Homo-oligomer: A and B are copies of this chain.
Amino acid sequence: MLYLVGLGLSDETDITVKGLEVVKKAKRVYLEAYTSILLVDQSVLENYYGRSIIIADREMVEMHSDDILANAQTEDVAFCVVGDPFGATTHTDLVLRARELGIPVSNIPNASIMNGIGACGLQLYNFGQTVSMVFFTDNWRPASFYDRIKENRDIGLHTLVLLDIKVKEPNLESLARGRIVYEPPRYMTVGTCAQQMLEIETERGEKVYDENSLAIGAARVGCRDQVFVAGTLKELCDADETLGKPLHSLVLLGRRTHELENDFCRDFAVDKDKWQSIWAAEYQNKQ
């Protein structure tokens, strides 16, 4: 059996009891470590599970999935995924390959950022499609998120923006010289995200949002030290210090709001009076 085990959002104790039983008993335990990260080290997980863990990087999952699935017709293999196993599309591939090989698959769900973000006080019913934001470079500034956010905002919905993480990225200079050297991990902050969003609005000019649009920055959702900062996009450009360590994500508000959402979120505001006046003018009683 191939078990897809969700690990949840924060530390070693966010695994479910059902998931922990599977991990303890499985023949091999893999940890998918490139679409998201837990906020504790591999050694902490290994000690807690009482098992050694094989780190499954992108290459292993995409190119050598049959190694992961070896003998899973008769043995139990646990493939652990931060958050929920079906949050990222990569794992769909693994399940399809298991099906081809006649391997039964079982899924052990857990919290994902897609529902965990509800802790910021915005109602999950009012969210549209989720978008991703990658680090811009001088010549690569993908902006499909802008069109998606426009679609959501046109019908009044909030947008969850998931922020880029770069894990085990090869250094390009070294690669050109034939050596693989990995860059240190990089995690996008809310500040960078808000800045990139405003840059694209300036370029495109379709008034999807602006500096005074309300948003919520989130850090370490689901952890004991989770932090939410509510404010305008301009204010969130400078909120990284308050938010602290990774992982960050951002929600841009839609206009179809409920007063309870304001009651809840205003408490997180950088400037409560400013938040309230923009809320009253632009978000309250809108559809």
Contacts and interface: CB of A to CB of B under 8 A. Distances in A.
A270 interface: no
A276 to B, nearest CB: 16
Contacts of A222: 107-109
A6 interface: yes
Interface in A80-114: 84-87, 89, 92-93, 95-96, 99, 106-112, 114
Interface in A202-253: 221-222, 224, 226
A124 interface: yes
A107 B119 contact: yes
A260 interface: yes
B157 A129 contact: yes
A17 to B, nearest CB: 4
Interface in A111-146: 111-112, 114-116, 118-119, 121, 123-132
Contacts of A108: 222
B109 A115 contact: yes
A71 B213 CA distance: 39
A84 B155 CA distance: 26
A92 B17 contact: no
Contacts of A84: 111, 115-116, 118
Interface stretch (A7-15, A62-70, A180-188): A7-15
Most buried by B among A20, A89, A115: A115
Interface of A is mostly: mixed
B116 A92 contact: no
Contacts of A106: 224
Interface in A1-50: 6, 8-9, 11-18, 20-21
A267 interface: yes
A86 B151 contact: no
A116 B109 contact: yes
Nearest to A86: B118
Contacts of A125: 89, 129-132
A96 B263 contact: yes
A124 to B, nearest CB: 6
Contacts of A123: 89, 92
